[in-house]
Structure 1
Amino acid sequence: MTQSSVTDATLMRHALSLAAHGPLTGGNPRVGCVLVDATGTIVAEGWHRGAGTPHAEVDALSKLDAAKIPSAAGLTAVVTLEPCNHTGRTGPCSTALIAAGVVRVVYAVSDPGANSSGGADQLRDAGVEVEGGVLATEVEAFIHPWLTAVRRGRPWVTAKWASSLDGRAAAADGSSQWITGTAARQRVHEQRADSDAIIVGTGTVLADDPSLTARGDAGELMPHQPVPVVVGIRPVPPAAKLRSHPAGLIETHSRDLEQVLAGLFGRGIRRVFVEGGPGVASAFIAGGLVDEYLVYLAPTLIGGPATAIGDIGVGSIGEQRRLAITAIERLGDDILVVARASTSSTSEGF
């Protein structure tokens, strides 16, 4: 072994910082890789820039300075995810590392893909020393949504809503613009841009005719646009704004949410943003399909019947869906609460 476990962890942490340069969207994980010589010195580094581009290992190999390092022979590759063993838009990274002469590979997390896993075994069979699990907890947390989606075979689902402090999403007459302020609304646009798809119901489309684009401060379109997905039986009207969405439009013609999510996963969609009305949000929650909650709270009281979510299948306090708050963000006068399902679904209340 040419590097100590401490050095491996340090190098892995640097590879993780490289992975953060990659995009959240596009179906592929954010992966970073460093190539080091026998002294532990980094000689090249790379990261994955999105579907169809070189994977992190190949990107790092391409960055070798031939004048200083004639080849990768004898080098160690430290990569955040197990090198893939799959030919898609690009070739398998395990094969590329073997062909380059890399003698040792250190990775953090095993590839959960049914078609892409097995790279570690391929490397070992070729005589490459392989060590997995280095800094696994940190890397697991970093790509948790992608890992969860691939392991489960359905996208990571984020549900978002905005409400008053008393839990209302609209006034009694149905008016709802605007409960939150400009800073909170801009944060929502950023979160849309970090998603592969944005889901609403046909009721929202017919009532509000939303554009569902991700826009910047000046109203300009952001570089990445989530594809709008409409859940429900009724068709989207021919003149609806969604018909001219820059990312296209997916009409599911279905209310079966599990089927809808499976179909989206098959399209390469790994992160979806549920931004429909209370009906759609409640259906996702009731079905146990929400992985993360983004709840925007405005310092106002509205009252009336228009609650942010409706029936989610909780008949008694013992059935409450307990959440764990992972972040709280102040946005002007508003607050964003980020939460995920708690390890314990019930708890003694006050």
Structure 2
Amino acid sequence: MRTAIELAHNGPATGVNPRVGCVILDEHGEVIAEGWHRGVGTAHAEVDALSKLPEGGASGATAVVTLEPCNHTGHTGPCSEALIEAGVARVVYAVSDPGHASSGGAARLREAGVEVVGGVLADEVEAFLGDWLTAAALGRPYITVKWASSLDGRTAAADGTSKWITGAAARQRVHEQRAASDAIVVGTGTVLADDPSLTARGDAGELLATQPTPVVVGVRAIPREAAVFHHPHPVIFEGTHDVAELVRDLHGRGFRRVYVEGGPTLASAFVAAGLVDEYAIYLAPTLLGGPRVALTDIEVTSIDEQRKLQVLSIEQLGADLLIRAVPAHNGSAQKEGN
């Protein structure tokens, strides 16, 4: 299973489909084929591995796969049926598929007389696939809200200036998080105030290979010369202030990992709506005072209504700290290492 997890890392970290790896063993426990999923429209990991065997080569074999084999027809056929037709005798998987349409592969395999074992190294695979599993279970993207602030919770000085609160190492980590996301979301206020490019860049300012699609939320017009129009992906404009409507549309567009990097108004709207799966909070060892707070009204009127978080990790980046946290009630469902 650990080899299958390593294979899964070869797949794209963004997109609709999960990263899945598969190892096929013969009757003596020897590896006879390996495969992984390379992205939407390509063979799933099980089929990729089976394709490397001659006809009949998987008869009596064991397939070890990180995610329960799917049981539906999308861009490709159901992996459960492919394994049955190949004559696989046993399937071992780590995590059940939470997808409404794609789940049920284990039951189909058992129905066909295939021995099925689930839950092997489940914790490791849940940590690896945490964002995708959450998105599949909830039917919406996995949403990370990010902000950078002073220790007293200010995202800008009283006059609105904010470049730069955090140092180079923290800013580079933000670019890495952007690159690991399908979409980056900001409000029109952020575009008008800061003119961000919303790209993911390397240390030397070069564009990284993977870029999030820029999404601008709000009804105000954006100047034609705005930097976001030079992004490698066309900008998506969402003319709404309803974040639930926004999230539904982003999911319908195929986005499964969304990085919210807007200002306090947009961030607070996501928090108030209960639509945050993970917080990425960058803290700089400085004090600013004044009114420019990271969050505004999040519909907490008394201490009993506070929104408690579970801290996943605290990382020092130069002089700054990155705190990753999740809502306390679902912390166990989040990934630890990505």
The TM-score with structure 2 as length reference comes to: 0.93
User: CA 1:116–1:344 in structure 2 vs 1: closer, same or farther (change >3 Å)?
Assistant: closer
Q: Which residue of 2 aligns with 1:84?
A: 70
* CA distance in structure 2 between the aligned counterparts of 1:268 and 1:276, rounded to whole angstroms: 21
Please say if 1:101 is aligned against 2:87.
Answer: yes
Offset from partner CA, 1:31-56 (integer Å, 9 cap, x none): 11110111222222222122222211
Structure 2 counterpart of 1:296 = 282
Q: AA paired with 1:246?
A: P
Tell me the distance in 2 between the aligned counterparts of 1:301 and 1:136: 43
* Residue 119 (structure 1) aligned with residue 108 (structure 2): no
Per the alignment, residue 31 of structure 2 pairs with 42
Q: What letter matches 2:274 in structure 1?
A: G
Does structure 2 conserve the Cα–Cα contact (< 8 Å) formed by 1:233 and 1:254? Answer: yes
1:237 is aligned to 2:226:
no
What is the match of residue 296 of structure 2? 310
The Cα shift of 1:136 comes to 2.5
Residues 1:212 and 2:198 aligned together: yes
Does the aligned pair in 2 maintain the 1:322–1:344 contact within 8 Å? no
Q: Is the CA contact (8 Å cut-off) linking 1:235 and 1:253 kept in structure 2?
A: no
Query: Distance between the aligned counterparts of 1:183 and 1:54, measured in 2?
Result: 38
**Matched-pair contact (CA < 8 Å) for 1:15–1:34:** yes
User: Contact conserved, 1:235 with 1:251, CA < 8 A, in 2?
Assistant: no
Query: What CA RMSD, in Å, does the superposition of the two structures yield over aligned residues?
Result: 1.8
Q: Distance in 2 between matches of 1:220 and 1:51?
A: 27
Q: Distance in 1 between matches of 2:314 and 2:28?
A: 43
Aligned twin of 1:335: 321
Whether 2:43 is the aligned partner of 1:72: answer: no
With normalisation by structure 1, the TM-score equals: 0.90
* Structure 1 unaligned residues grouped into runs of 5+: 1-11, 346-350
Is residue 2:243 matched to residue 1:257?
A: yes
1:183-229 deviations in whole A, cap 9, x for unaligned? 11011000000000001011111222211000111111111111111
Q: Which moved more, 1:280-289 or 1:82-91?
A: 82-91
Distance 2:144 2:91 in 1: 35
Distance in structure 2 (CA, Å) of the matches to 1:49 and 1:327: 30
Displacement of 1:75:
0.8
Flag the 1:322–1:37 CA change in 2: closer, same or farther, 3 A: same
Does the 8 Å CA contact 1:236/1:251 hold for their aligned counterparts? no
CA distance in 2, matches of 1:243, 1:312: 31
Q: 2:19 and 2:194 mapped to 1: Cα distance?
A: 35
Q: Distance in 2 between matches of 1:133 and 1:262?
A: 31
| Aligned residues of 2:56 and 2:87 also touching (Cα < 8 A) | no
What SS does the aligned partner of 1:290 have? Answer: coil
| Higher mean C-alpha displacement, 235-244 vs 269-278 | 235-244
Closer, same or farther: CA 219–204 of 1 in aligned 2, 3 Å: same
CA distance in 2, matches of 1:297, 1:137: 30
Question: For residue 58 of structure 1, what is the aligned residue in structure 2?
Answer: 47
Count of aligned pairs: 331
Identity %: 67
